[in-house]
Amino acid sequence: MADLIVSPSESTHAVAVARSARLRNGLPRLSGKLLVGVVLLGVIVLFGLIGPLLLGDPRDASFDPLLPPSPEHPLGTTKLGFDVLAQVATGTQGSLFVGAVAGAVALFLALVFGVLAGYFGGALDETLMLATNIMLVIPGLPLVMVIAAYVQHTEGLGDLARSSLLVALVLGITGWAGSAVVLRGTARSLRTRNYVAASVVAGERPLRVIFVEILPNLVPLLAAQLIFGVIFAVLGEAGLSYLGLGPTGSITLGTVLNDAQTGQAVGSGAWWWFVPPGLIIALIGTALSLINFAIDEIVNPKLRLVPVAARRQRLARRAGRGVGGEGAVA
């Protein structure tokens, strides 16, 4: 009987180990998609961070206009004589900033509206979901355009008006509703688990239960929602800038595309002006999507098992080729 007695320290250690195991199992495992996505995103981030420091002033108009790519200007120059490579490097930094800020804002709002509604339920759930459903039924792009146009012409904002930070805040405030619905459903499922019920019975405060028991199990889902928010923000900023509603006080990939469009880069054959920023936007979306696919395999174990089952089926078909009658594969 003495061997069955567990000391409080051993019990605490066991709980800590269990929590660590749940968190560790929720982290994405190394896969081809994850590796390619992380490497590609890392290269783009380094280019955006280091490039502006090495390539000079992106608004230096002392060069000849519309020069094609050359050793002096690897991506040529714009109609106003700006170096395209310097503009693309600075624009990459600006777009990544918009994506990071908007993704963080959207994730925070999704946590507040989704996790709190899913855990507490009742009147709070109905109130928060009412606001979430209203945001869901309003068309996203028109809402962003209206808010951006209104806020950017509001007096008293000073340097914040038409800045990258303002555009990021607008995109973050309008892009959280879908993630909130997903987090609410998962939080409602987790609150019925035994370890959550045990914490509640032990007298733990609700916020501590949320932060200690529920949020660690939401790490893969939170990462996926953050990545989705960043993708939405980068593409949304590019769209707003292309329509003339983007930041004018800073350079992003969207503003570079807008300058190329207003400068008739396509008509003049200056492909080096609009192809690089569009390509980097596509690469950012590709890298983040690959990472998101890898995280989805953690959130949904069925997705992780599908490639394994398909590989086993191919191997079985190869091993049994010609066994079945009339050319059928056994």
Q: How far apart are CA 148 and CA 299, in angstroms?
A: 34
- pLDDT for 218: 86
* DSSP-derived 3-state class of residue 77: strand
- pLDDT for 330: 47
Asked if residues 84 and 51 have their Cβ atoms less than 8 Å apart, the reply is no
Asked if residues 237 and 167 have their Cβ atoms less than 8 Å apart, the reply is yes
Q: How far apart are CA 295 and CA 113, in angstroms?
A: 23
Mark out the alpha helices in 203-300 (DSSP H runs).
Answer: 206-209, 219-242, 253-262, 271-299
Q: How far apart are CA 30 and CA 33, in angstroms?
A: 8
Asked if residues 52 and 61 have their Cβ atoms less than 8 Å apart, the reply is no
Among the listed residues 269, 240, 235, 276, the one whose alpha carbon sits nearest the alpha carbon of residue 255: 240
* Termini Cα distance of the chain: 58
**CA dist 271 to 253, 275, 276, 278, Å?**
15, 6, 8, 11
What letter would DSSP give residue 88?
H
- pLDDT for 199: 82
Q: What is the mean pLDDT of each run of 10 residues along the chain (330 residues)?
A: 48 52 53 87 93 86 86 88 91 92 93 89 88 84 77 68 82 88 88 83 83 85 89 89 80 90 85 90 92 78 61 72 46
Q: Which amino acid is at 33?
A: K
Q: CB-based burial of residue 239 (10 Å sphere; 0-12 exposed, 13-18 middle, 19+ buried)? A: middle
* DSSP-derived 3-state class of residue 134: helix
- pLDDT for 2: 46
Phi-psi region of 37 (alpha: psi -120 to 50; beta: other; left: phi over 0): alpha
Q: How far apart are CA 166 and CA 252, in angstroms?
A: 13
